[in-house]
Structure 1
Amino acid sequence: MPYAPLPDGQLHYSLQGDAGKPVLILSNSLGTSLDMWAPQMARFTEAFQVLRYDTRGHGKSSVTPGPYSIEQLAGDVIALMDHLNIAQAHFCGLSMGGLTGMALATGHPARVSRLVLCNTAAHIGTPEAWTARIAAVEQGGMPPLAPAVVARWLTPDYAAQHPATRAALEAMLCATPAAGYAAACAAVRDADLRAQVARITAPTLVIAAAHDLPTPAADGQFLRRQIAGARYVELSAAHLSNHEQAAGFAGAVVDFLTT
């Protein structure tokens, strides 16, 4: 089980695929782990060496004291790349992972070859809502939160037709350490990159979803307008579009990164 050292902990990661191919880094959403990318792995490893990791406080990575910041999470990616001697890579992040990608591309532009921002926004939600969620998690833990959160990740029809997927996502969320989740909630709450994203110079693809409640398609359209030359794809899905539209999502990413 590989880990990359951090100044205050370690980052769990998985590196798969041909070392001779370009590296694609995948960054998970809040409350998930690197396993959230399972629907894309077969397609992605055909074209890339794929580096997945558990964001600080998630999965098997260290749960360091919070609150976290998006800049801190972007710094963790740099530490991971340095550990593996990766000078530059493609980066694809969903939701919180997308915020991490924006901070990475603005703070460390030489390290990002191409950028894919999925189901994300330069500013997500309201501070009051995030603070309330942090308080709820600190008081009651993860299980009481899981059904309502996952209900926003998938459209009702898809969730009803794929109960095993819904259950697996709820289990992934419940397995996230409460302290790590709360600390990462603070990172999302405090991140406001609306004035920064216009500085992104890496070729960028924005993937949004028509039925996404946490980060509506309008948020993706804002990113498309702000980032020079950005491409935009909108899928018929809710927040975890890589699950609900697995093939379409993978195809859009591969096409953008290889053409």
Structure 2
Amino acid sequence: MHKKVCVNDIHINYDESGTGKDVLVFLHGLGENIASWQAQIDYFQQTFRVITPEMRGHAQSDDGEEVITLALMVKDIFALLDQLDIKQAHFCGLSMGALLCQEIAVQDKSRILSMTLANGAGFYPEEMATTGLEARLKRIEDLSMQELGYAIAKAASKPDTAEEQLIKTATIFQANRKKPYAQATQTTLTADYRAHHASMGGIPTFILVGELDPVTPIAFSQYLNEHILGSKMQILPKVSHLSKIDDPMLFSRALTEFLCAYSNSARLLLEVTV
């Protein structure tokens, strides 16, 4: 069920589904919204309490007056969870959402029961963070959101995605507004958590990546796996950057199997979905 709540002087749109004891928070990628997690919400709400916020500047959440940063978005997440009386949760973030998980670990890792970094990075190579960022910002300026949304959907989906699905995925990105989207793009591509990865070693961490991901390639996930002590990594076959949409059940089952070591709700979910 979609709801809105006032946090940090803005209204945040979020979905709350399921009544399970264990809380699972899904954090979307750059330019995405709640709709991008719908398959996972439907699946995990069977045994989990699932919280899926829309970050400020995205879709139905307000932009606010401050420049959008990962740190600010995490403050919003904490404020939302506080209002829902959630002290700890399992977090799963894709792409920008994976960066948000790392920012949560920096700000207050005691809130994390586990974190899943899907199709993510711990930092972006200099070319992506400089000339690549400039090119992306120029594209946001030059294209309409209709054109941009379709282009992103096409680039981030697996190559054999049906046109009907591409159009559906494009509507997620087309819901953006240019100014906040540009700000979120800036903070995403200039993020760098390398100095903090050693301190994340005590957090149960799962790293998922699509075999065909050109946006955050396998090498980015391998870096995270090597530098977050004790983390586990899995490559999902035949999917791209939007792995949760390319093959929702493959993504969800992998996440469930990881969570089984830390969550009764996950163990129960495997039993009821055999």
Taking structure 2 as the reference length, the TM-score comes to 0.88
Percent identity reads 29
Structure 1: give runs of 5+ residues left out of the alignment. none
Contact kept in structure 2, 1:142 and 1:176, CA below 8 Å? yes
From the superposition, tell whether residues 183 and 65 of structure 1 become closer, same or farther in structure 2 (CA, over 3 Å): farther
What is the RMSD of the two structures over their aligned residues, measured on CA atoms? 1.5
Q: Compute the displacement of 1:258 (Å).
A: 2.2
d(CA) in 1 for partners of 2:234, 2:63: 34
**Which of 116, 132, 154 does residue 151 from structure 1 map onto?**
154
User: Which aligned pairs between 1:105-124 and structure 2 lie closer than 5 A?
Assistant: 105-124=105-124
d(CA) in 2 for partners of 1:5, 1:112: 23
d(CA) in 2 for partners of 1:42, 1:9: 27
Contact kept in structure 1, 2:149 and 2:172, CA below 8 Å? no
- Runs of 4+, deviation exceeding 6 Å: none
Contact kept in structure 1, 2:150 and 2:167, CA below 8 Å? no
User: Which aligned pairs between 1:87-102 and structure 2 lie closer than 5 A?
Assistant: 87-102=87-102
Cα deviations by residue, 1:128-152 (Å, 9 ceiling, x for unpaired): 2223322332344422322322122
Cα deviations by residue, 1:207-246 (Å, 9 ceiling, x for unpaired): 0111111100111111111111111110121100011121
Amino acid corresponding to residue 176 of structure 1 in structure 2:
N
1:13 matched residue in structure 2? 14
2:168 matched residue in structure 1? 168
Cα deviations by residue, 1:19-59 (Å, 9 ceiling, x for unpaired): x4201000111111111011222321123100001111111
d(CA) in 1 for partners of 2:206, 2:221: 10
Determine whether 1:51 maps to 2:66: no
d(CA) in 1 for partners of 2:215, 2:87: 33
d(CA) in 1 for partners of 2:97, 2:150: 22
Cα deviations by residue, 1:170-224 (Å, 9 ceiling, x for unpaired): 1111111222211110110221112212211210000011111110011111111
User: What count of residue pairs does the alignment treat as equivalent?
Assistant: 255
* Higher mean displacement: 148-157 or 48-57: 148-157
Structure 2: give runs of 5+ residues left out of the alignment. 262-274
Amino acid corresponding to residue 251 of structure 2 in structure 1:
F
User: Which aligned pairs between 1:1-259 and structure 2 lie closer than 5 A?
Assistant: 1-18=2-19, 20-65=20-65, 67-124=67-124, 125-157=128-160, 159=161, 162-200=162-200, 201-236=202-237, 237-259=239-261
d(CA) in 2 for partners of 1:52, 1:36: 10
* Higher mean displacement: 61-70 or 94-103: 61-70
From the superposition, tell whether residues 181 and 66 of structure 1 become closer, same or farther in structure 2 (CA, over 3 Å): farther
Cα deviations by residue, 1:107-160 (Å, 9 ceiling, x for unpaired): 211111110100000113323222332233234442232232212211211x2x
Contact kept in structure 1, 2:8 and 2:79, CA below 8 Å? no
d(CA) in 2 for partners of 1:185, 1:128: 13
Contact kept in structure 2, 1:115 and 1:204, CA below 8 Å? yes
d(CA) in 2 for partners of 1:2, 1:231: 34
Contact kept in structure 2, 1:208 and 1:233, CA below 8 Å? yes
d(CA) in 1 for partners of 2:7, 2:190: 22
Q: Compute the displacement of 1:6 (Å).
A: 2.2
* Higher mean displacement: 59-68 or 178-187: 59-68
Contact kept in structure 1, 2:206 and 2:258, CA below 8 Å? yes
Contact kept in structure 2, 1:138 and 1:179, CA below 8 Å? no
Contact kept in structure 2, 1:25 and 1:92, CA below 8 Å? yes
From the superposition, tell whether residues 66 and 123 of structure 1 become closer, same or farther in structure 2 (CA, over 3 Å): farther
